[in-house]
Amino acid sequence: MILARKPHTVGDRRRYIVDYSQWLSEGSTISAAAASTTSLTASVDGVTHDGTTMTFFVNGGELNGVFVVNLQMTDSLSEVKLDTIEFFCIAP
């Protein structure tokens, strides 16, 4: 599912937080989280999670470029949710 389409300033390192509290079943929590991109000019790192949110950082990018960050969240019931966020790069 495409969660959002967001601007990203070239060269910035920005933190993003995805709240899964509305998706999780009652009593379940996030047990694993991963984020990745196939972009050659942008990267994703610093992926962490707590009970209901996933946090990650997006770095770099190329002016007027577009890239996708793929998210995978697994909960304590072994359910898996796959999401994407599209970023379009703007000038500083």
pLDDT tens, residue order, the chain (92 aa): 799 999 999 999 999 999 999 999 999 999 999 999 999 999 999 999 999 999 999 999 999 999 999 999 999 999 999 999 999 999 99
Reported CATH class of domain 2-90: mainly beta
Helix, strand and coil content of the chain, in percent to the nearest 5, comes to 0, 65, 35
Residue by residue, DSSP assigns 32-69 as: EEEEE---SSEEEEEEEE-SSEEEEEEEE--TT-EEEE
Residues 6+ apart with CB under 8 A from 48: 33, 54, 55, 56
Domain parsing of the chain, residue ranges: 2-90
